[in-house]
Amino acid sequence: MRVRSTRPGNRWRWLVAGVVSAAIVTVLGLSAVSPFRAGARYQVVATDQVAATPTPEATAAVAPTPAAKPEPYPGAAYLMEGGELPDVPYKPLANKAAQDRPLSYETRCHQGELGTTVNTCEFGPAHAFRTIALVGDSHSAHWLPALQAVADEFGWHIVSMTKSSCRLGIYGSDTPEHASCRVWNSGVLRSLQALRPDLVLTRATEGSGRRDYMLAASSIPQWRALREMGIPVIALRDNPWYSFDVPQCVATYGPAARRCGSDRAQRGLVEPIVIPAGYTLPTGVHLLDLTDLYCEPTYCPPVVGNVLVLRDSHHFTATYAATMGPYLAGEIVKLMGWQDRMAFV
C-alpha cells in the first residue's frame, strides 16, 4: 500500500468526500450509495450556517466510527487529497481502455470528422438549475464523464455538442475536414444562440506538439462571438499527446514505467497558459488549467490513483475523467460565482 501526503490548500476537499467513488459507477451506469442523493433538493448556505462543532456533551455517547477502508480507485483524488493507496490492479486494463470512452460516442451524438450536422445529447437531472454546453472536438468530449459525475449533485443540465477533429474555432483551408468544420461551427453558434446556456465549456490549447500552445487566431473569434450573445466561456488547457499508445506501453512495461508518461516541464505544462502576442482574451472568457488533476509537479504518469489516465495516445479514459469531476465542478463554481456551498434539504 502506497501513501501520499495531502496537497496543502485544497479548496474543494469538502466536495470530494463520497463523490469520487460514486462518480465512476455513475458514469458507467451502475448504482452507488453517495452522500449526495440523486434528485435531492439543495440550497446555498453561508459558511456560518454550516453545522457548528458539537459540544463534548453531544459527542460523549457517540461510539467511535471504524476507520474506513481506503478507496481502491481514487484516480485524481489521490493526487489532490493524498492518503493510502491499496495495491490493486489498475483499471481499466489495457485491453479494455479503447472502449472506455464517453457515452456521446455510444449514443452517436458525437459527430464524425466529415459530418456537418450538430448532434446533441443531454445529461443531468430533469429539473436543472443551470445549463452547461460542452462544445468542441474529442478533447472537449473526453471531459463529458467528469460533468456527468457531478451533474445530479449540482443540478446541472449538460448538453454535448462535439465533433471529431473540430475545435470551436475558425477554419480557413478548403480541405474536406476543414470545410466540414466551418459548416459545423456555424451550426454550433446558431444552436448555442437558441439554447442560451449558462456556460460553454471548451478547450483552450493544443497539446499535440512538443509544447502546449493556444491557437488564438482560430479560437478567440468564436469565444468573442459567444460573449456577444451573453454566454460565458471556460476554456480548458489541453493534456499531453504521445507518439505511442499509452495503454499498450503500460501493458508492456508496467503502470509505474516512466517511459509511459512525460516530463511536465518539457510539455510546457508548468507555466500558465500563454495568450499569443497581439491577442486579448474577451471579458467573460476564463482559461482553466487542470493539469494538476492528472500530473504530478514534474511528471505526468500513465496511471494515477490506480486508474489508467489515457485510453489511447491522448484521450482520457472515461473512468479517469469521472474522478476529475468534483474538482472541475469546484473550479466552475468559483470562476462563475455560482453556489459556493450546497446543502441538501
Cα(225)–Cα(31) distance, integer angstroms: 40
Cα(255)–Cα(308) distance, integer angstroms: 8
Question: What pLDDT score was predicted for residue 4?
Answer: 67
C-alpha cell read off for 215: 491557437
- Going by pLDDT thresholds of 50, 70 and 90, the confidence category of residue 12 is very low
Cα(239)–Cα(129) distance, integer angstroms: 30
- Going by pLDDT thresholds of 50, 70 and 90, the confidence category of residue 339 is confident
Cβ(130)–Cβ(153) below 8 Å: no
Please determine, for residue 286, whether its predicted confidence score (pLDDT) is greater than 70: yes
Cα(223)–Cα(206) distance, integer angstroms: 16
Q: Which amino acid is at 100?
A: D
Burial of 316 (0-12, 13-18, 19+ CB in 10 A): buried
Mean pLDDT over the full length of the chain = 85
Among 3-7, 211-215, 268-272, the range scoring the smallest mean pLDDT is 3-7
Q: Is the peptide bond before 74 cis (omega within 30 degrees of 0)?
A: no
Among 42-56, 86-100, 193-207, 271-285, the range scoring the smallest mean pLDDT is 42-56
Please determine, for residue 343, whether its predicted confidence score (pLDDT) is greater than 80: no
Query: What is the pTM (predicted TM-score) of this model?
Result: 0.83
Question: What pLDDT score was predicted for residue 126?
Answer: 85
Question: What pLDDT score was predicted for residue 133?
Answer: 98
Please determine, for residue 344, whether its predicted confidence score (pLDDT) is greater than 70: no
pLDDT > 90: percent of the chain: 75
Cβ(261)–Cβ(240) below 8 Å: no
Q: Which residues pair with 160 in a beta bridge?
A: 121, 134
Question: What pLDDT score was predicted for residue 246?
Answer: 98
C-alpha cell read off for 286: 476564463
Cα(249)–Cα(246) distance, integer angstroms: 5
For the stretch 30-84, pLDDT in tens is 333 232 223 322 233 333 333 344 444 444 445 556 667 889 999 999 999 999 9
Question: What pLDDT score was predicted for residue 224?
Answer: 98
Question: What pLDDT score was predicted for residue 163?
Answer: 98
Cα(100)–Cα(105) distance, integer angstroms: 10
Q: Which residues pair with 236 in a beta bridge?
A: 203, 288
Domain ranges (residues) in the chain: 2-49+70-344
Q: Which residues pair with 83 in a beta bridge?
A: 4
Among 18-22, 49-53, 284-288, the range scoring the smallest mean pLDDT is 49-53
For the stretch 133-188, pLDDT in tens is 999 999 999 999 999 999 999 999 999 999 999 999 999 888 999 999 999 999 99
Please determine, for residue 320, whether its predicted confidence score (pLDDT) is greater than 90: yes
Q: CA torsion sign, 28 to 30 to 34 to 38?
A: positive
Cα(217)–Cα(310) distance, integer angstroms: 29
Q: Which residue has the higher pLDDT, 299 or 55?
A: 299
Question: What pLDDT score was predicted for residue 211?
Answer: 87
Q: By C-alpha distance, which of 177, 189, 154, 174 is closest to 15?
A: 154
Cα(7)–Cα(199) distance, integer angstroms: 29
For the stretch 189-220, pLDDT in tens is 999 999 999 999 999 999 988 889 999 999 99
Please determine, for residue 92, whether its predicted confidence score (pLDDT) is greater than 80: yes
